[in-house]
């Protein structure tokens, strides 16, 4: 999966003409981000099943950034890719519903229908509990989309709260994993996968086997490959038989592949995306034996 | 404090002309939301110190909503109010930095400087740990802003994760409170208040005294008054001597005051905001005795 995490200071050269055609820093940056993401999608799409939009990178460009994000999502869909909105939202019921409408299914208003981003999967933050996640599930189930709950993230600070030990000796993240499994149990599809998935960082392989044990039907989003230090080869325990159990995501290692290995940005990105795809498929093929 | 949580289906009548002057559902809804929030600010500003923007309600209108939000923030600043961006963001370092730039201090790009929302306070989610909060603190300290960390939220589901018991018998939220206190200790101002505050729901008064004990220098944002069932009279333990220790926030009970008590929306909102202000001041005056 292609992570789209566009840093305005590290865009591909082919983004420059789009920026030059607009006025003002915000619109120029948004145009460049749009062009960069489109070129990256065109290069990597054949080796990917989805794009993951890091919402923060678009929001920093305000209204123009949000507009660029909607265009990038549309470009990805046109290339046959699923769209994952990585916003890690979480809020009380009415606010969670507004976020879910914003990212998934839109909303009816007295002024007519507003469309929303139409994402296929959204990341959500479970700190506020299941009632902060339910509105996302409602929107997802209305449109055939899915929800990916943060369970054990890939950053060093994840240990501050997620790894705290509860009275029974388990960690906070293991309890969150149980909640994910409970919420997803009511809707496991024919392929054995639920519509409630989990974000489990690829940087701590030791957690993956335990996470899979606690969430046997959850698709896993596995961030942290590449720039954050995770290795594809360590991820076997996260996979299920079949190819959809684990979704690898890499952002900077694909977009910046030419910086490490040379060549054109597009060629290098395609090669790196293909390498990750092949490695993931190899793991997936081994999965039944690995469990 | 005035919560701005605009539901397109429940706007004041004076928002209608702005919507009629635009084309398409999204722009009409955004124009109406902008007009509604401006009227609400004009009515309630004399009794408030800040507005709290619920980002979800603006994001559901996409790019047009984000643009309306920036205008509403500017309108609030022009009325002499602080702006709280209630987005509850939390992400790994580079993404948290982009969110902080988006909401607080803007960013330098190769295309020029992009401004950001220039919020005075932002709410953040601590599930991912202190390294997900630090970038917000960096931006806040560069501009004299502050950060409000979710500690114990006002919704029923808060118990799912925040109330889990750790091995020493304390709750997850109490450990988060300790992290807030540690992060804020390095920057306590002359008035005895830190720039790292806490969101503590007003719906469970029993938690307030303990939260204040764990975070003696943190400003508290106290959501949940009114529509969520919290009562101002129960909040005394949250306050500190002086008026800035506790920030009450009410959204639907102010915007919808005319539905309950009659009168014009603006007059009813002003009256309700004044009632809450007076109740909070009375608590604040009692605070030294209450501790």
- Spell out which residues of chain B touch residue A128, defining contact as CB-CB under 8 Å: 150, 153, 155, 157-158, 161-162
Residue A261, class by beta-carbon neighbours within 10 Å (0-12 exposed, 13-18 middle, 19+ buried)? exposed
How much of chain B is in helix, strand and coil states, percent to nearest 5? 50, 20, 30
Statement to judge: residues A112 and A213 lie in one domain: yes
Task: Return the closest-CA partner of residue B121 out of B160, B166, B88.
Answer: B88
Statement to judge: residues A177 and A106 lie in one domain: yes
Statement to judge: residues A219 and A135 lie in one domain: yes
Burial letters for A171-191: b for 16+ Cβ neighbours within 10 Å, e otherwise? bbbbbbbebbbebbeeeeeee
> What string of pLDDT tens digits covers the 291 residues of chain A?
899 999 999 999 999 999 988 989 999 999 999 999 999 999 999 999 999 999 999 999 999 999 999 999 999 999 999 999 999 999 999 999 999 999 999 999 999 999 999 999 999 999 999 999 999 999 999 999 999 999 999 999 999 999 999 999 999 999 999 999 999 998 888 778 899 999 999 888 888 999 999 999 999 999 888 777 888 888 888 887 655 578 888 888 899 999 988 899 999 999 999 998 888 888 777 654 433
For chain A, counts of helices (H) and of strands (E): 12, 10
Statement to judge: residues A111 and A255 lie in one domain: no
Task: Tell me the nearest-neighbour CA distance from B289 into chain A, angstroms.
Answer: 33
Let me know if residue A288 belongs to a domain: yes
Statement to judge: residues A17 and A135 lie in one domain: no
What is the mean pLDDT of each successive set of 10 residues along chain B, which is 291 residues long? 94 93 94 97 94 98 98 98 97 97 97 97 98 97 96 95 97 98 90 92 87 94 82 82 73 91 93 89 64 37
- Spell out which residues of chain B touch residue A95, defining contact as CB-CB under 8 Å: 5, 54, 56-57
CB pairs under 8 A between A and B: 242
Q: Is A52 a catalytic residue?
A: no
Let me know if residue A9 belongs to a domain: yes
Chain A (20-39) residues lying within 8 Å, Cβ to Cβ, of chain B = 24-26, 28-29, 32
The full DSSP string for B36-83 is HHHHHHHHHGGG-SEEEEEHHHHHTTHHHHHHHHHHHHHHHHHTT-EE
Chain A (47-66) residues lying within 8 Å, Cβ to Cβ, of chain B = 54, 56-57, 59-66
Any chain B CB within 8 A of the CB of A101?
A: yes
CB–CB contact B25 A125 (8 Å): no
Statement to judge: residues A142 and A166 lie in one domain: yes
Q: From the candidates A35, A92, A170, which should be mutated to test the interface with B, based on the most B CB atoms within 10 A?
A: A92
Residue B91: closest CA among chain A residues belongs to which residue? A88
Let me know if residue A146 belongs to a domain: yes
Chain B (210-239) residues lying within 8 Å, Cβ to Cβ, of chain A = 228
Any chain B CB within 8 A of the CB of A156?
A: yes
Statement to judge: residues A276 and A142 lie in one domain: no
From B52, B88, B152, B212, the catalytic residue: B88
**For A129, which of B7, B56, B159 is closest by C-beta distance?**
B159
Any chain A CB within 8 A of the CB of B132?
A: yes
Any chain B CB within 8 A of the CB of A94?
A: yes
- Spell out which residues of chain B touch residue A167, defining contact as CB-CB under 8 Å: 165-167, 169
CB–CB contact A88 B89 (8 Å): yes
Let me know if residue B101 belongs to a domain: yes
pTM: 0.95
Q: According to the model, what pLDDT value does residue A225 have? A: 80
Residue ranges making up the domain that contains A35: 1-48+59-80+250-291
**ipTM value greater than 0.90:** yes
Let me know if residue B59 belongs to a domain: no
CB–CB contact A62 B64 (8 Å): no
Question: What's the token pair of residue A148?
Answer: 């990916």
Let me know if residue A54 belongs to a domain: no
* CATH number, domain containing residue A89: 3.20.20.70
Let me know if residue A53 belongs to a domain: no
Statement to judge: residues A254 and A236 lie in one domain: no
Q: Please state the domain count of chain B.
A: 1
From A36, A52, A88, A277, the catalytic residue: A88
> What is the helix (H) or strand (E) element at residue B2, kind and residue range?
strand B2-4
Let me know if residue B68 belongs to a domain: no
Q: From the candidates B58, B93, B161, B170, which should be mutated to test the interface with A, based on the most A CB atoms within 10 A?
A: B161
Contact B230, B206 (CB under 8 A): no
Burial letters for B1-10: b for 16+ Cβ neighbours within 10 Å, e otherwise? bbbbbbbbee
Statement to judge: residues A273 and A225 lie in one domain: no
Any chain B CB within 8 A of the CB of A248?
A: no
Q: According to the model, what pLDDT value does residue A290 have? A: 37
Statement to judge: residues A243 and A261 lie in one domain: no
- Spell out which residues of chain A touch residue B26, defining contact as CB-CB under 8 Å: 111, 114-115
Statement to judge: residues A160 and A279 lie in one domain: no
Statement to judge: residues A112 and A215 lie in one domain: yes
């Amino acid at each position: 999966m292609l992570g789209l995490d566009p840093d305005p200071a590290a865009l591909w050269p082919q983004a420059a003409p789009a920026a030059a055609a607009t006025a003002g820093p915000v619109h120029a940056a948004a145009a460049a981000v749009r062009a960069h993401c489109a070129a990256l999608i065109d290069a990597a799409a054949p080796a990917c099943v989805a794009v993951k939009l890091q919402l923060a990178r678009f929001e920093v460009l305000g209204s123009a950034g949000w507009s660029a994000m909607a265009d990038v999502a549309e470009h990805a869909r046109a290339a046959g890719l699923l769209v994952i909105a990585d916003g890690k939202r979480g809020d009380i019921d009415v606010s969670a519903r507004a976020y879910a409408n914003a990212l998934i299914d839109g909303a009816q208003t007295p002024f007519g229908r507003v469309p929303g981003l139409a994402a296929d999967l959204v990341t959500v933050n479970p700190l506020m509990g299941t009632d902060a996640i339910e509105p996302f599930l409602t929107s997802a189930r209305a449109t055939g989309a899915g929800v990916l709950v943060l369970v054990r993230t890939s950053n060093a600070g994840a240990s501050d709260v997620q790894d705290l030990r509860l009275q029974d000796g388990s960690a906070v993240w293991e309890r969150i994993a149980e909640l994910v499994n409970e919420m997803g149990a009511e809707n496991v599809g024919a392929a054995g996968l639920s519509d409630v998935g989990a974000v489990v960082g690829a940087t701590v392989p030791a957690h993956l086997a335990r996470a899979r044990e606690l969430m046997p039907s959850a698709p896993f989003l596995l961030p942290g490959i590449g720039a954050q230090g995770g290795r594809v080869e360590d991820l076997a325990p996260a996979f299920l038989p079949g190819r959809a159990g684990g979704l690898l995501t890499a952002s900077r290692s694909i977009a910046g592949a030419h910086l490490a290995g040379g060549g054109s940005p597009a060629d290098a990105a395609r090669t790196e995306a293909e390498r990750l795809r092949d490695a993931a498929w190899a793991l997936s093929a081994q999965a039944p034996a690995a469990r």
